[in-house]
Amino acid sequence: MGAYDLLSRLGAERKTRAAPPTVYRALDFLMEQGLIHRINSLNAYIACFGPHRPHDACLFICERCRTVEESEAFALRRAINAQAGDRGFHVTGQTIEVTGLCRACAVAGI
């Protein structure tokens, strides 16, 4: 869901209208708390499936229906950290976005 999707939903449910900066501040706060992830390629946000512990996300994004599934890719994280370490680079966080077709879209041949 994007920031402006949130704005329109808030406007439909409340008599007062929230301003975009308010929504963006709220989204930034939720990201800092590890409760949501930003999906850069969709300019949207998704709830985190494991907010109780710090982790890096791997997001599988369906190009057709736009569903998003979150996964932890431990081996991928280790490989990235190893490559970064070889270069003297310190990784502070990562979100990996993988696009393709979800199972339902692939089976339906959409």
Give me the CATH number covering residue 78.
3.30.1490.190
* H-helix or E-strand spanning residue 22: helix 20-32
Q: Which pTM was predicted?
A: 0.74
Q: What is the mean pLDDT of residues 36-45?
A: 90
Nearest to 31 by CA among 54, 8, 7, 63: 54
Per the structure, how many domains does the chain have?
Answer: 1
For 70, the domain range is 52-110
Q: Is residue 96 part of a domain?
A: yes
Q: Is residue 36 part of a domain?
A: no
Q: Is residue 33 part of a domain?
A: no
- Residue 74 has a pLDDT of 83
Longest dimension (CA), the chain: 55
Q: pLDDT digits over 68-80, tens only?
A: 999 887 888 889 9
Mean pLDDT score of the chain: 86
Reply yes or no on whether the pLDDT at 92 is more than 80: yes
Reply yes or no on whether the pLDDT at 83 is more than 90: yes
